[in-house]
Structure 1
Amino acid sequence: MPAALEQANESVVSVKDVIKEFGPLRVLDGVGLEVERGQTVAIVGRSGSGKSTLLRCIAGLETVQGGSITVCGHPVGRPGSAARAQLRRDVGMVFQSYNLFPHLNVERNITLALTLVKKESKGEAKRRAAEVLAMVGLTDKIASYPEQLSGGQQQRVAIARSLALQPQVMLFDEVTSALDPELTAEVLGVMENLAHQGMTMISVTHEMGFARRVADVVVFMHQGKVWETGPTAEVFANPRTAEFKQFVGSEL
């Protein structure tokens, strides 16, 4: 059972006044965000609005120039390997590209981190791999290699690999952007099931149907800022800014 299911109504991710710059370019400009345990948050907006950069900052993959990020009570960006290890335990991230090892079969792609990083026994790692593959509907692909899988199946394996580490929050960065509609539906179905099970999730997505149907909270980013945020039905029904109204209209 993922750790995220154990408690509710508790802040898991806290982003306060975050500034992120790449040289002279300010990509995040005073961004703030709170995510409670068990919530599904969809971050939407046009390309270049800072969505993916925000996700990478939460995952500790980028260093911020201002503000603070806290995940599961631990400040992100603390120096030291122990802090980085704690963040890796707390956060699972799935990217647009599947990042599977092509020379390893599905089971070993999942068990590698469990045996090398978490020092689990081979038997326990195999048991966990079977468990998470069942969660994403790929039990029959346990011995397959990535090249034998469709793009949707590879992305579901990438999700299973993250779930195997039992993170408290899952981050998804446009995970369906490279997939055709049928494969997109496969992956979104897995994410929807995770949401129903109570996994805390932050998803950068251009799939507005998924955002409307599954997300508890929608965050609209524009020009490196959180432009609008709130309960999904409320935000979509009553856009407060011309920018979000135009964005929603262009997605229909």
Structure 2
Amino acid sequence: MNAMNAIHETRATTAAPLVAFRDVRKSFGAFEVLKGIDLDIAPGEVVALIGRSGSGKSTALRCVNGLEKINGGTLTVCGRHLHESGTDLRDLRKDVGIVFQSYNLFPHLTVEQNVTLAPRKVHRISAADARTLAADVLAQVGLSDKAGNYPEQLSGGQQQRVAIARSLAMRPKLMLFDEVTSALDPELTGEVLRTIERLAASGMTMVLVTHEMSFASSVADKIVFMHQGRVWETGDGRMLSAPQTAELQQFVGNGL
């Protein structure tokens, strides 16, 4: 067992799930993408969603912060019932941060300004507190020396780490990562994954959609293999070396 897995095994909790899917369904027109998802995510848990393109994993992730509205079942996130009408999504997103494949940084703002824009607008923090906050979260992602830089002066990996810092600046209870390394070359992918690994070690609750199988195996407490809109297999990193179904065996064997 590696050190990261040892850290994760100390996180057993009897607390209520931070995220609870119950028979969740989602359709786009006549096409049903999620066909009855059941999944719990505990506080402090790191969950990796894996599967082929079109398996429903990114749709499931987007449902968690309300970017997609579910059509059936129940979904509770940070105590909020997303299946009920009238859920305040702006309030939800104070607790749920999300980082996408594209960085979406404002090119005319410095790194510090990109990171502190939302906290200053949403939480009305002072300029001095914003600088302190920026210094803290940029240190978390290893970019303390880039606060005054503009996005065009950074590598792709650095920009993605700024995007992570921007989400952390809202002090979320839950972080979502949607294939954040898929547009990066291997070297830059490594620096972003190391940042996420440090967040995992700090106890941050995270859900990752990823194709990085070795990373998922070493960092995630729970791996969820999705296939054709359903949760097909769930387990720790050992399930990737001992698949219980032909579908996961083929997926792992193809190196997807």
TM-score interval for Structure 1 and Structure 2 normalised by the shorter chain: over 0.9
Residues 71-130 of structure 1 deviation map (CA, whole Å, 9 limit, x = unaligned): 1221125444x7223211110000000011111110010111011111111211111111
2:230 aligns with 225
Secondary structure of 2:18 counterpart:
strand
Letter in 1 for 2:237: T
For the residue of structure 2 that corresponds to 1:220, the secondary structure is strand
What is the match of residue 13 of structure 1? 19
Identity %: 60
**What is the TM-score of this pair, normalised by structure 1?**
0.93
For residue 250 of structure 1, the aligned residue among 238, 251, 254 is 254
Q: How many aligned residue pairs are there?
A: 245
Structure 2 counterpart SS, 1:172: strand
Give the drift of 1:228. Answer: 0.6
**Matches of 2:55 and 2:177, distance apart in 1:** 16
TM-score by length of 2: 0.92
1:178 counterpart = 2:180: no
Long gaps (5+) in structure 1 = 1-6
Partner of 2:4: none
RMSD: 1.6
1:240 to 222, 241, 244: 244
Structure 2 residues not aligned, in runs of 5+ = 1-11
1:96 and 1:178 in contact (8 A); partners too: yes
Contact 1:8–1:36 under 8 Å retained in 2: yes
Asked if the contact 2:22–2:75 (Cα under 8 Å) also holds between the matched residues in 1, the reply is yes
Say whether residues 1:125 and 2:130 are aligned partners.
Answer: yes
1:146 aligns with 2:151: yes
Show the counterpart of 2:170: 165
- How far apart, CA to CA, are the structure 2 residues paired with 1:56 and 1:76? 12
SS in 1 for 2:254: helix
Query: 1:40 is aligned with what amino acid?
Result: V
Q: Retained in 2: the 8 A contact 1:100–1:158?
A: yes
What CA distance in whole angstroms lies between the structure 1 residues aligned with 2:89 and 2:139? 29
Alpha-carbon offset, residue 238 of structure 1: 2.5
2:58 paired residue among 52, 62, 65:
52
Measured in 1, the distance between the counterparts of 2:21 and 2:156 equals: 32
Measure, in 2, the Cα distance between the counterparts of 1:98 and 1:30.
31
Counterparts of 1:48 and 1:55, CA distance in 2: 13
4+ aligned runs moved over 6 Å, structure 1: none
